Homo-oligomer: A and B are copies of this chain.
């Protein structure tokens, strides 16, 4: 009797075809980020529960996967560990714990799964990869320029053609809210409403503000300001709006430097958009915030910003930092839907068919030889009918099958079947290597 099998809600197995696509994208991310001087970091999947608790708001706490104590203490139902919820809090913990081993300016990338007990939905999972870059230990604006140029280059390398970088600064957002007459302690309430502007429109945000208890005059003033600030030369308009507000003006100056810096860095088709309505939900941002969008696609592919206070919560001394997080699962879905992956991909260059136990030795020698030349070669492992073996090669999208029967073994040759054309040739080893496009020549002539 078989055990009932299932997989946890919101999780997936990544079978080989999907895995190769994931690997392809992860390799591109790694390549671009390393070219930009970011170094790899990995942290454990499990963290002490006190490291995670209270860092992601009330909702985040609900979504943590908690791990029961082991041994006799399990009976108490107490938890001491939780699964990683993002890559930013672990980074802050790493910086606090390894201060003396890390360089003063620490540029790291991290590509690992995180877990959230969210309601699963289309393209939303309970286990998903995040790919983050962060620069710790340096103030604005150069880290922002460096990171955004890396992200723009990455999307170009992945094959996205119409990418927009939307930029804003928390001080700009706060300035607009203050100017509209919102008291400081209600600022984050207003940010939550503004954050929905591109989803629910001006009317929706107005209703949301009123529902959150803002008076009509404040709501209208805020929307009017957002409208003013978004028209024409945005940075110039903001300078006008913020006369006499030094913090907000510092935000505008920062955005201006980031824009000018990025203009030096050959971003190709990437469009820069300063958007004073961009809010991003997370409480911990203190300066620039940004999102990466594909122009013909709702929602964002990446996002991030500066958070100069978060690491101090762990290390006891404030350390400036900023970061960008890529939504790998969404990027994969979009690339898949748009046919951006090579469909001709095959895992193997050739397959050695199994003819009989008598010729197995010759097949094994041939197989080893091809692999020594860098070819990816599958070895069919049992005495199935040849038709079945060819069907396997077709299913696996393997372009060539090599067959060694008694006559071939005797003569020191092989039969090569081209699975696309059906053509069948008799070749010696050198001709076979040439035909299969062997990449390297580890050993001498046959």
Contacts and interface: CB of A to CB of B under 8 A. Distances in A.
A35 B377 contact: yes
A50 interface: yes
Contacts of A23: 40
Contacts of A16: 39-41, 108
Interface in A1-49: 1-8, 11-16, 19-20, 22-23, 34-37, 39-48
Contacts of A76: 77
Contacts of A367: 265
A40 B20 contact: yes
Contacts of A67: 65-68, 83
Contacts of A105: 380-382, 392
Nearest to A84: B45
Chain A interface mostly: mixed
Contact of A371 (B14, B79, B153, B351): B153
A315 interface: yes
Contacts of A36: 371, 376-379
A356 to B, nearest CB: 12
Contacts of A63: 70
B372 A47 contact: no
B51 A5 contact: yes
B96 A395 contact: no
A interface, size bucket: 35 or more
A347 B108 CA distance: 11
A221 interface: no
Interface string A142-168: 110110010001000000000000000
A47 B94 contact: no
B139 A382 contact: yes
> How many copies of this kind of chain does the complex include?
2
Interface string A116-147: 01000000000100000001001100110110
Contacts of A237: none
Interface string A366-395: 011101101111111110000010001001
Given A68-B66, A347-B37, A379-B146, A115 B15 contact: no
A28 B383 CA distance: 31
B42 A13 contact: yes
Which of A135, A138, A153, A260 gathers most chain B CB within 10 Å? A138
A113 B45 contact: yes
A395 B103 contact: yes
A141 B102 CA distance: 50
A19 to B, nearest CB: 4
Given A35-B376, A107-B378, A392-B103, A12 B142 contact: no
B7 A97 contact: yes
A39 B68 contact: no
Interface stretch (A182-190, A276-284, A332-340, A357-365): A357-365
A266 interface: yes
A364 B65 contact: no
Nearest to A19: B40
A332 to B, nearest CB: 13
Contacts of A395: 103
A19 B39 contact: yes
Nearest to A55: B3
A71 interface: yes
A376 B39 CA distance: 11
Contact of A376 (B4, B11, B37, B47): B37
A264 interface: yes
Given A13-B44, A62-B71, 16 more contacts: A5-B51, A5-B96, A8-B44, A15-B101, A19-B41, A19-B42, A22-B42, A44-B127, A45-B113, A70-B117, A105-B380, A135-B381, A142-B360, A142-B379, A146-B381, A149-B368
Closest 5 CB pairs of A and B: A77-B77, A37-B378, A2-B316, A16-B39, A11-B44
8 contacts: A2-B315, A7-B44, A20-B39, A35-B376, A37-B348, A77-B77, A107-B378, A149-B364
